[in-house]
Each structure stands twice: as C-alpha cells, then as structure tokens.
Structure 1
C-alpha cells in the first residue's frame, strides 16, 4: 500500500494549489500564491500518496488568536478514502487554540458544522461588468501607494480580526494587482484591490464607509481591467453592498458560508463590500 505523508507546502508547491482551485471553479488570482505564502509560510499543507500530490489545505495563523482554513481539496481519484481529512486534521492542529474561520462551499457545510464551525453569514459572488453609474463628485480615488503603509494596514485592521502586514504589503504590490484608496474630506474612507484571475478579475477587499465610496472605488478598479468582467465576494448581511451589486447589474454566480469555531470577530462588517479572499479571509 502506498505511503501517505503530509508535509508543509513551499511556495512552488502552492502553484499546484491554485491549479486545483481553478479545477474546482473557484477562479483564484493568478499570482495569489505569493502574498498567500507570505501570510504564514508554515500554514500550507500538501498530502502525497506514494510521492504523488493528492490533497491540499491551508491553515494560516494571524496574530495570536485567529486562523483561517482554505484550499481544502482532495483530488477526485482519491476522494472518500480519508486522505483529505488527514490533511484537515494537520491544518486544525496548526491552528489549535485559535478562533478559526473558513468559507465553506454548500456541499461541505454540514461537515464543517460537525467539526465545530458555525455559520456567521453567506458570501455571494457577484460577477460581470459594472454598469456605468457615476459616484458623488466629492470622492477622490488615488493609488494606494500614495498612502503610508502603516495607515493602510491600520485601516485594514478595522475590517479584519488581526494585523496581516506581510500579506497586505504584497497584496497591494504584486505586479498586475491594482490597489486604490478613496479620500473624502482628506480622510481615508475606502480601500480596494483588483487582481487578474483565471477568468476575468477578482475584487477584494472592497472596504468603504458608504455605497457611493464603494461605487467610486469599484469604477476605478473596473477601469484598470479595461472592461474585463470582475467578481466580488459580498457578505449578504451588508444590505447596502448587495443593493449596489444589484444596481450595477452584476449577477450572483456562487456562494459559500463564512463560518467560525467561536463567535464572529468584532469587525466593521457594514464597511465590507467585498471580502479580501475566500481562501485566507
């Protein structure tokens, strides 16, 4: 019987994670492995059967008390044989003692509940080319690089349960990523990133103090894609964000449940118009 082992995945291995995620129709960003790996270099696990990669999972640690599970995939030929769950257990051990979050696809949510996860809200993926609605004229949208990084990281912290500076510095700086901020009356009032994906482009995060600021940012991010379709993972509990997607005639194409092992973190959910990623939170 072939030996099965679970090892920490290096950055080269993570290119395979993206390929497998694309096979699952998750449409990852083309260069996601670079900032993802920086978030927690020991937080990615690869299961090999007889030396052949067959299962993946990520378990990224943030700060001292939060973690996030993603990339939970067993390749079709080995599903139902226990290799995926062994990788899952290794990932959860890596996050022992933390509140753990994940975005669970519909057919796995019951299994996650059995592992102690509870649904907090649903992310609905809206996709398409945003309609040509114009935002208010008192909003200035500029390159995120014009804002000191510490200020940008502190702003991100309003919407995420822990600092993630290593990830964020690459997320805004990887070639092909466009990062914008919105200023109103000189105050930082919104932040968004768009990145090329296997199909179209993905927007995330999209943070904004109001729907008109979110609109201004989304227009700028969409323009950077030169008319290519974009996709955003929108928390359904943010009704202003859902209404904006509907006004812009974007179509719901996919959904997954944001789940936690403990209480949902205390973050500015009303300001999240799109999650950063469904893989790392």
Structure 2
C-alpha cells in the first residue's frame, strides 16, 4: 500500500510549485517563489506519495493573527483519491486561531464555504496590451521613483493600508528581484502609489497597484507598460473597486480569469478604494 505523508517544502519544491501553478493556467511570476518562500519558509506543504510530491498547499503566517492559503493543488493523476484534502487539513491546522484569507477558483468555492470561508469580493484578472495612458495625469508635484530607492520602512507602512498584517521580508524581496520593475508615486515625501510589474511565462503580472487617485494609478500603469512596450499585462483587480475596473477598460484590458477573495471571520479592514490590484492571488 502506498505511503502518503505531508511535509515541509525544500527550495527545489518551490520551483516545482511554480511549474504546477503554470500547468493550472495561473501564470505565476517567473521568480515569485524567491519572494514567497522567505515570507514564511514553514508555510509551504507538500503531500508525498511514496516520497514523490503529488499535492501542495501554502499556509503562510503573517503577524500574529492572519494567514493566507494558496497553491492548493493536487496533480491530475491523484485527484479524487483524498490526498488533496489531507494537505488542505494540514494547511488549515497550521493557521488555526487566525483569520485566514484565500483566492478561490470557481470550481472550489463551495468547498471553501464548507470550511468556513465567506466571499468578500471577486478578483478579476484583466489582461492585454495597454492602449496608452487613458489621458490621465497624476497632478502637480507627483514624481515616480524606483521603489527600491524608497526606505523599506516607509514602503511597508504604506502596504499596511492595503494588507492586514506586516510583511516586510516579503516586500523586500518583491521589489528587489531582478526580473521586475517596482515604482512608487511620491509627493512631498509621502507615498501616493506603489506598483510592481514582474515577468511571467504569459502576460507580465502587475501587483500590487495601489494609488490615492485614478490618475496616479493610470500613471503608474502607463509607466510600467512603457518598460516593455507591446507586452501583455495581467492585473488582478478587486471588483469592489469600480474605479479600477473602469481604468482597466480604458486601457483596453479584458477579463480572463476570476477568483473569489474569501476569509474566515470578518473581512479585514483595508483601503479597498486605493487598491487597484492585489499583490498576488497566491499569498494575498
């Protein structure tokens, strides 16, 4: 009889995880694992059948009371055999006592509801080659800087407006990896926007996209698009931010994928009006 166990991930496992996510059509960033793994090295679990990885989940702890679930995958040959649910239970147990978030694909949302998750909004992936800057201007005094030049403490404090827990280690890697462009919109020393574009096998991913106005969001998006002219972008937009939905439409992007942001317990109090795109559907 085959032996099944759930264990922590190795560095090589994280590479495998990116391959599985690509096979699922999620189009992860090429180097995302280099930022994901340091965020919580113990938070990536693999189900192994006779030593061979066949299922996965990430159950990443943030701060003292929040966690996020992602990468819930059972490989096609073992689906329907109960291995995926064993990995799921191990991930949820790791986050016991915390509010837990996830982005649930349509086919799994009913299962997540049975586990106590409730929908807060949908993240809609808009995709395509941006059609110019939609005529927006950020206003006087706004400068775009490379986010790598902004003090990390300032960047992390700004991120906390949009994410319910500190994640400084993750952010440090997220903005510094070589295959991405990270921009900050600054006025009089204050952050008014932050955005990151990263390479992927398909359309380049953009996330987060934070801004204090649609004009600043448009300027950031146009600047990111200009770093790779003619390259498609993929942006996960909270549908509750209608200004962001309209912005994507003005840039000529169209929906290609949808997932429900779900939480156990009350949805965290974050600045949805300024969140034009979430950072990732894998780690929040």
Q: What's the TM-score once normalised by structure 1's chain length?
A: 0.98
Alpha-carbon distance in structure 2 between the residues aligned to 1:50 and 1:31: 29
Correspondence 1:81 to 2:84: no
Q: Deviations over 1:214-248 (max 9, x none)?
A: 00100111112232101000000001000101111
Deviation at 1:123, TM superposition (A): 0.3
2:42 match: secondary structure:
coil
Alignment length, in residue pairs? 281
Q: Is the 8 A contact 2:59 2:67 kept in 1?
A: yes
Note the residue ranges of structure 1 that are not aligned, 5 or more in a row.
Answer: none
Q: Which residue of 1 aligns with 2:214?
A: 211
Alpha-carbon distance in structure 1 between the residues aligned to 2:228 and 2:49: 40
Q: Which residue of 2 aligns with 1:70?
A: 70
2:67 match: secondary structure:
strand
Correspondence 1:170 to 2:162: no
* Match of residue 240, structure 2, among 234, 237, 241: 237
Q: Is the 8 A contact 1:201 1:225 kept in 2?
A: no
1:42 match: secondary structure:
helix
Q: Is the 8 A contact 1:193 1:203 kept in 2?
A: yes
Alpha-carbon distance in structure 2 between the residues aligned to 1:214 and 1:144: 15
Deviation at 1:53, TM superposition (A): 1.0
Alpha-carbon distance in structure 2 between the residues aligned to 1:53 and 1:193: 31
Correspondence 1:115 to 2:118: no
Alpha-carbon distance in structure 1 between the residues aligned to 2:66 and 2:152: 22
Q: Which residue of 1 aligns with 2:157?
A: 154
Map 1:37-116 onto structure 2 (within 5 A): 37-116=37-116
Deviation at 1:129, TM superposition (A): 1.2
Map 1:176-255 onto structure 2 (within 5 A): 176-255=179-258
Tell me the C-alpha RMSD between the 2 structures.
Answer: 1.0
Note the residue ranges of structure 2 that are not aligned, 5 or more in a row.
Answer: none
